[in-house]
Amino acid sequence: MMLEIKNVHKRFEALEVLKGIDLNVNKGDVVAILGPSGSGKTTFLRCLNFLERADQGEMVFDGERFDLHAASRADVARIRKKTAFVFQNYNLFLNKTVLQNVTLGLTVAGKMKKDQANEIAVEALRRVGMADKLNNYPAQLSGGQQQRVAIARGLVSNPEIIYFDEPTSALDPELIGEVLAVMRQLAEEGMTMLVVTHEMDFARHVSNKVLFMADGNVVESGPSQEFFEHPQQERSREFIKSILEARK
Ligand SMILES: Nc1ncnc2c1ncn2[C@@H]1O[C@H](COP(=O)(O)OP(=O)(O)OP(=O)(O)O)[C@@H](O)[C@H]1O
Ligand SMILES: [Mg+2]
Q: Which amino acid is at 171?
A: L
CA 165–ligand 2 middle distance (angstroms): 7
* Angular region, 226: left φ>0, alpha ψ -120 to 50, beta rest: alpha
Please give the model's pTM, rounded to 2 decimal places. 0.95
Residue 247 has pLDDT above 80, yes or no: no
Which tens digits make up the pLDDT trace of 161-172? Answer: 999 999 999 999
Residue 248 has pLDDT above 80, yes or no: no
Q: Is 35 in the pocket of ligand 1 (CB under 6 A)?
A: yes
Under the banding of pLDDT at 50, 70 and 90, the label for residue 245 is confident
Mutate to test the pocket of ligand 1, among 19, 39, 165, 212 (most ligand atoms within 8 A of CB): 39
Residue of the nearest CA to atom 5 in ligand 1? 12
Residue of the nearest CA to atom 8 in ligand 1? 43
Query: From CA 70, how far away is CA 57, in angstroms rounded?
Result: 9
Q: Is 216 in the pocket of ligand 1 (CB under 6 A)?
A: no
CA 211–ligand 2 middle distance (angstroms): 14
